[in-house]
Amino acid sequence: QSLLTQPPSVSGAPGQRVTLSCTGNRSNIGAVYGANWYQHLPGAAPKLLIYNNNNRPSGVPARFSASKSGTSASLVIAGLQAEDEADYYCQSFDTSVSAPVFGGGTKLTVL
Amino acid sequence: QVHIVQSGAEVKKPGASVNVSCRASGYALTKYAMHWVRQAPGQRPEWMGWINPDNGKTYYSQTFRDRITISRDTSAATAYMELTSLRSEDTAVYYCARETNWGYWSFDLWGRGTLVSVSS
């Protein structure tokens, strides 16, 4: 099974810290390429937040951080802001199917 | 400003084909692999294939191998994705995404998506 599993939704109040999880297996997150994370606002282009488990591209605020442990990955958003309300997707490369694979996404609601 | 410009929404009948284009703006198309990802309503994103715009080599997902063709026109800085024998399940937003040069199969620049609706 090459799917990545994410909780459908998570919420937090402004200023709080939330953690989004992504569970894979040894063929994807647990393999060499690790996990990437994207933010997707409705009608907009998806935005790369994290690549290779814990690296932020230039321009991504430091309050977005991530880590990997075994076959799971986590995205942490600190100091929640209203503009963070979006869908968040994890993605990896699955060596068993030789293809990129995506999680089902987590909808973040800022209360 | 660096971005990808995608073609507009399409409405197609079952059995027809669709061609979606992505024009690279502000960067050289040939310097980065271009991938295609689609997302059907309520579904997770699904990877379809990619092209090396420099040499035109392509690689397709097994799911779409019989129906997809990805190509490019370097003079127009544009990549194309054609999907044939459309069915209702192909109704989705189709994205092109630039792969980073850092490896890791990550995508650092995306188009805003092209809605393809398939209905009789």
B→A contacts (Cβ < 8 Å), by residue, are: 3-4, 35, 37, 44-47, 61-62, 95, 97, 100, 102-113
Give every residue of chain B whose pLDDT is below 50, as ranges. none
CA B47 to CA B42: how far, in whole Å?
A: 16
Q: A6-17: per-residue pLDDT in tens?
A: 999 999 999 999
pLDDT of residue A3: 86
E-strand stretches of chain B: 3-6, 10-12, 18-25, 34-39, 46-51, 58-60, 68-73, 78-83, 92-99, 107-110, 114-118
CA B90 to CA B70: how far, in whole Å?
A: 16
pLDDT of residue A24: 97
pLDDT of residue B87: 98
B25, B68, B105, B115, best to mutate vs chain A, most A CBs in 10 Å: B105
pLDDT of residue B21: 98
The residue of chain A nearest to residue B104, with distances taken between CA atoms, is A33
Residue B42 CB contacts under 8 Å (≥ 6 apart), including other chains: none
pLDDT of residue B104: 87
CA B11 to CA B86: how far, in whole Å?
A: 11
The neighbouring-strand residues paired with A94 are A99
Q: What confidence tier does A2 reach under pLDDT thresholds 50, 70, 90?
A: low
Q: A72-97: per-residue pLDDT in tens?
A: 999 999 999 999 999 999 999 999 99
The DSSP result for B15-28, as a single string, is T--EEEEEEEESS-
What is chain A's mean pLDDT, rounded? 96
Q: What confidence tier does A1 reach under pLDDT thresholds 50, 70, 90?
A: low
Percentage of the residues of chain A whose pLDDT score is greater than 90: 94
B22, B23, B44, B63, best to mutate vs chain A, most A CBs in 10 Å: B44
CB of A45 within 8 A of CB of A58?
Answer: no
Give the CA radius of gyration of chain B: 14
CA distance A77 to chain B (A): 19
pLDDT of residue B102: 81
Residue A57 pLDDT > 80, yes or no?
yes
Contact A33 B102 (CB under 8 A): no
CA B64 to CA B83: how far, in whole Å?
A: 8
Q: What confidence tier does A43 reach under pLDDT thresholds 50, 70, 90?
A: confident
CB of B111 within 8 A of CB of B39?
Answer: no
CB of B116 within 8 A of CB of B90?
Answer: yes
A→B contacts (Cβ < 8 Å), by residue, are: 3, 33-34, 36, 38, 43-48, 51-52, 57, 89, 91-93, 97, 99-105
In the chain, the amino acid numbered A5 is T
